[in-house]
């Protein structure tokens, strides 16, 4: 039991006679700036929600409202899985894939604006369907074979046959070796592999190219005796409940997360074990999410670069200060370059120096920063105090899509002549100090007895 409780943002309840599994719920944007929740029950009810909430006067949260339910469609056949991707030729929009026991349907969400605030009508439009000759179990969506800007679908049947569909067209079918019962299947884009579990409780990976070479162009006559070799396998020793693939585009890595009956595994894309964690309970399902790769500590400096260019030549200051000799006051010019490698929603640049130094401007804001930009900062002496340090620190605080801040810092040294005045060397001093020593120096044997004794 946890000591901490989460704050409920939004919740809704389904009918009592409806059943769901780990393939019955997804979240997607559906070509919009908002998030949508799509659920499909095994009773054949497809729902699309657009979550919203309101704050009350007592700082409470009003979650679900009737307007959050955009679509509720009864399909009269069980829904085994739902997915989302670019599934229509020539279109970059996202469509909804719905898997039934003998049918694969592709829908798109349409909206019709109304005259009032709540008058917008939403409806599902059926784009195309694929009839399945074998009873299906699940499917996976991905850019198979290195395709760009379009997604394909692989449907796994109850007897171990994989059927591949390139959007509106059927491509080929093949049987997976060492098959007993259908299990979870995932696609690794980095290596173009399909990862699934075998009857011997092993995780196996098959190359898409090998599957296509062993496949048949017709679903009616598929040779199940064709042997397909896996690229790698990993022995788990237990049944697999679910598989997720995490793509790290920054480090160009891919991680395969596996949920077993008693353990949680993480494999590299080549089948090597990264880590495992034993669970003290029997899990039902799991979901992986990234804490926004744009704000991770190890990657922030790679995604947002800062260059500091200090001009060694000082200029006459144009700022007001508390110095008496304002006319001869000088300032240092620093050019600050911001180099984003990925888009950032909000970036705040802060410049800090120790008093009596002063920087102008001290803060700079950027919204939707996605390209190189720069600005000029000026540092000058503001008062006639002792200078503790000539270091200048520039920090960049980024706000990402999740609303979490991360900060990176970079420092540089200001030129010495900003705070010192040059003068001519004096040959004769006005004051002299003479030191006379009448004691004999200490012998080296007394200072270093160990070294001289050897």
User: Was domain 25-293 assigned CATH 2.130.10.10?
Assistant: yes
Which residue has 């804001």 as its token pair? Answer: 365
Question: What is the residue whose two structure tokens read 């012998």?
Answer: 443
Residues 6+ apart with CB under 8 A from 116: none
- What are residue 304's DSSP bridge partners? 340
3-class DSSP state of 102: coil
Give pLDDT, residue 295: 41
HSE-CB at 451 with a 13 A cutoff on CA atoms is 5
Find how far residue 6's CA is from the centre of its chain.
22
Helices (H), 183-307: 208-214, 297-303
Q: Are 98 and 33 in contact (CB under 8 A)?
A: no
Query: Under CATH, which architecture does the 298-418 domain have?
Result: Sandwich (2.60)
The CA-atom distances, in angstroms, between 299 and each of 28, 129, 141, 440 are: 25, 43, 28, 63
Residue that has been written with the tokens 């969506």 in this structure: 141
452's enclosing H/E stretch is: helix 449-453
Distance CA 108, CA 56 (A): 35
Quick count: other Cβ atoms within 10 Å of Cβ 175?
Answer: 21
Helices (H) and strands (E) in the chain, counts: 4, 31
Mapped to the 3 state alphabet, what secondary structure does the chain carry?
Answer: CCCCCCCCCCCCCCCCCCCCCCCCEEEECCCCCCCEEEEECCCCEEEEECCCCEECCCCCEECCCHHHEEEEEECCCCCCEEEEECCCCCCCCCEEEEEECCEEEEEEEEEECCCCCCCCEEEEEEEEEEECCCCEEEEEEECHHHCCCCCEEEEEECCCEEEEEECCEEEEEEECCCCCCCCCEEEECCCCEEEEECCCCEEEEEEHHHHHHHCECCCCCCCCCCCCCCCEEEECCCCEEEEEEEEECCCCEEEEEEEECCEEEEEECCCCEEEEEECCCCCCCCCCCCCCHHHCHHHHHHHEEEEEEECCCCEECCCCCCCCCCCCCEEEEEEEEEEECCCEEEEEEEEEECCCEEEECCEEEEEEECCCEEEEEEEEECCCCCCCCCEEEEEEEEECCCCCEEEEEEEEECCHHHCCCCCCCCCCCCCCCCCCCCCCCCCHHHHCHHHHHC
Q: Are 248 and 254 in contact (CB under 8 A)?
A: yes
Quote the pLDDT of residue 293: 44
For tokens 């006639």, the residue is 384
The pLDDT of residue 158 is 93
Q: Which residues neighbour 92 within 8 Å (Cβ) at sequence distance 6 or greater? A: 86, 149
**Strand-pair partners of 334:** 310, 377
Q: Which residues pair with 339 in a beta bridge?
A: 305
Q: pLDDT tens digits for the chain (454 residues)?
A: 455 566 677 888 888 788 888 899 999 888 777 889 999 999 999 999 998 877 777 766 777 788 889 999 999 899 999 999 999 998 888 999 999 999 999 999 988 876 665 667 888 999 999 999 899 999 999 999 988 889 999 999 999 899 999 999 999 999 988 888 899 999 999 999 999 999 899 999 999 999 988 887 655 566 655 778 899 999 998 999 999 999 876 667 889 999 999 999 999 998 999 999 999 999 988 988 776 544 444 456 667 888 888 888 888 888 777 666 656 678 888 898 888 877 777 888 899 888 888 888 888 888 777 778 888 898 888 877 788 888 889 888 886 555 567 788 888 888 888 877 777 766 677 777 887 777 777 887 787 776 555 5
Six token digits for residue 43: 């009773």
Q: Which two tokens stand for residue 136?
A: 């299906």
Sequence spans of domains, the chain: 25-293, 298-418
Q: What confidence score (pLDDT) does residue 5 get?
A: 65
């Amino acid at each position: 039991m946890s000591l901490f409780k989460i704050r409920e943002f939004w919740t809704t309840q389904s009918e009592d006679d409806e059943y769901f599994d780990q393939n019955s719920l997804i979240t997607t944007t559906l070509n919009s700036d908002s998030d949508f929740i799509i659920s499909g029950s095994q009773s054949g009810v497809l729902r699309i929600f657009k979550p919203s909430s309101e704050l009350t006067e007592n700082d409470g949260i009003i979650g679900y409202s009737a307007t959050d339910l955009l679509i509720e469609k009864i399909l009269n056949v069980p829904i085994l899985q739902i997915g989302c991707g670019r599934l229509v030729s020539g279109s970059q929009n996202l469509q909804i894939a719905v898997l039934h026991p003998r049918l694969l349907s592709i829908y798109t969400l349409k909206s019709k604006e109304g005259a009032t605030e709540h008058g917008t009508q939403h409806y599902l439009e059926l784009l195309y369907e694929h009839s399945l000759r074998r009873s299906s179990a699940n499917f996976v969506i991905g850019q198979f074979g290195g395709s760009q800007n379009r997604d394909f679908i692989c449907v796994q049947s109850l007897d171990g046959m994989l059927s591949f569909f390139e959007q509106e067209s059927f491509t080929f079918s093949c049987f997976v070796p060492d098959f007993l019962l259908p299990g979870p299947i995932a696609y690794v884009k980095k290596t173009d592999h399909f990862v699934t579990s075998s009857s011997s409780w092993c995780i196996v990976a098959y190359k898409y190219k090998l599957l296509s070479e062993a496949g048949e162009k017709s679903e009616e006559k598929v040779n199940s005796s064709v042997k397909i070799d896996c690229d790698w396998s990993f022995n788990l020793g237990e049944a697999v409940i679910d598989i997720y693939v995490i793509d790290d585009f920054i480090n160009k890595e891919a991680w395969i997360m596996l949920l077993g009956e008693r353990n949680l595994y993480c494999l590299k894309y080549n089948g090597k074990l990264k880590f495992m964690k034993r669970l003290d309970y029997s899990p039902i399902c799991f979901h992986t999410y990234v804490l926004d790769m744009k704000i991770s500590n190890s990657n922030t400096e790679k995604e947002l670069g800062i260059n500091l260019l200090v001009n060694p030549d000082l200029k006459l200051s144009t700022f007001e200060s508390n110095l008496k000799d304002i006319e001869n006051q000088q300032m240092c010019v620093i050019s600050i370059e911001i180099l984003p490698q990925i888009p950032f929603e909000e970036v705040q640049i802060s410049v800090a120096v120790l008093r009596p130094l002063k920087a102008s401007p001290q803060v700079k804001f950027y919204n939707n920063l996605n390209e190189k930009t720069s600005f000029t900062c000026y540092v000058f002496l503001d008062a006639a105090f002792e200078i503790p340090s000539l270091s200048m620190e520039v920090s960049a605080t980024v706000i990402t899509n999740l609303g979490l801040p991360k900060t990176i810092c970079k420092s540089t040294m200001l030129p010495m002549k900003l705070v010192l005045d040059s003068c001519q060397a004096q040959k004769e001093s006005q004051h002299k100090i003479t030191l006379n020593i009448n004691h004999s120096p200490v012998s080296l044997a007394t200072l270093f007895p160990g070294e001289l004794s050897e």
